[in-house]
Structure 1
Amino acid sequence: MPNELPVELTSFLDVVHELRVKLYKLKLQVKVLSEKNKFIALGKEGDEESSSNDSVQMLITKISQDAIAFENRLKKLREQNDTLKTQNERGEIQLSDTILRIRTNHTKSLSSQFVKLMRSCQDIQLEIKVSIKQKVCHKIKIFHPEFEDEAIEKVIDTEKVDDGVVERLRKTTNQPTVDYLTKRHQELVEINNAINGVSEMFVSISVLLGMQGELIDSIEQNCDQTKEYSATINQELERTYHLKKKLVAKIVVLSIILVVIVVLIVCAITIPIAVYFTKDKVV
């Protein structure tokens, strides 16, 4: 029977599998958000647009909630790794370096994938925000071309629009347009809040430094390993070079010896023959 994995490693791998499933679901949600972003960028208006924007808000909120929950689980896993490493160094527990390395590598892998996914998600959210903002600006400029772009953006970026601005729009713009602009503004506020919710999580110094630190440590370890490999290769090359020089020297010496032996053999054969023929001639 094959050897079974240690219990502490089996339970850890179960948690890793659970987190990978959650990460996969997050990826699917981000993919759906990306598709909705393309729909919003097409510039469709009306009930279909309103329905799409509503679903976008709900999806962004859901992604934010799931991302924060995932990060909390990941943070707990990192803390457990640090605790086990400390206890092992103190001799309070006995874990092999292999188990600790497996835990660290899996956690680093999940962290890097999660950071990459959330950065992509934030980019999509910002694109959605820009698309909706552009629509609102365009709509206002149609009815109020005298409004400057900076003034419009300032109103849009304000969480609560001044009542005087709303009243002015009502007097100079038809009610459906006012309702449209009001709804789009509310969508922008809610989407912006959702984006800020995720941003706060990643702007957090402890989270960013923790994750980036893990990645940097991993890079440093790889660099150290590369240096070790390079040093070993250089040593082997130098050793091979010296061996080659010795081999060439041996070949030269052996060649000289062989030539000398051949000369001696030839001399040993030819000299008696020459002496024999010389005697015959004398006789």
Structure 2
Amino acid sequence: MRVLVTGASGGTGSTLIGRLSDTGVEVRATSRRPDPQRWPGVDNVASDLGEPRTLRPALEGVDAVFLVSFAPPQVLGELAEEMAAAGVAKVVVLSTIDTTRTEPFVEYNKQRHLAVENAVIDGGFTTVCLRPGAFARNAIRFWARQIREHRSVGLPFPESQQAPIADDDIAAVAVEALTTSALDGQKIVLTGPESLTMREQVGLVGRAINASIDITLLSDAHARALYGQVLPPQYLDLLMAQWAFEVTESADVTQAVQVVTGRPATAFGDWAVSHRDAFLP
């Protein structure tokens, strides 16, 4: 069996490559700028999902695709056609929990991911849609530099709650989806094992690095200036509204990781310990 992993340079894609390689499955990795040195022994092919024809060399002889797509909606039909023409039978889509939500602020992200899901389903592939909530690695993206430089984190909504999920847990479920028929046709919401406020998450990072991390309450303008350094405008608007909303209730928590893999999802505190170097000077 040969599996193509798109988004190979991202957190979930790179983690999945390692897990698939351990199973004996033949793995091919693709991204815009592949790094052969990162995955010795893995076939690395350059492509751009926004230009589906560039995928042809990557798709040759592929049975299943792990699809992480930020391609514009107008090319999704062509993307499905390229996969079908190559003989791909199964596509596992990395989607989002936002596809299940109804709040206005998720609409942009919801529709973007639903368009990918629907293009794959309409293309006639055996499909599995993985719909994770907040990624644990967002702590690195959003807070690591602040912690390394100042031992402080600026938050607009410290009591906002998420159930952060580790890339390794998403990858473990993806392996089952790609290599077995157990999850065929399912749309699976994946979360970490517990709802935590951002204040609690920062505290767990502090415990992991054995340091006290201060929290600074940010105004809307200051938060947008800070997080706008790592987020495009559409996602900044979405997350600011979502974080405000998440103050009002606990995050959704599912048991899907344990049901699929037979082990509990990774606790955020354990994830922080295993990624502690990212937060150290």
Place the TM-score, normalised by the shorter chain, in its bin. under 0.3
Find the structure with the greater CA-based Rg: 1
Compare the two structures and name the one with the higher strand fraction: 2
Q: Relative contact order, CA 8 A, sep 6+: which one is greater?
A: 1
TM-score, scaled relative to structure 1: 0.22
Taking structure 2 as the reference length, the TM-score comes to: 0.22
Where is the helix percentage greater, Structure 1 or Structure 2? 1
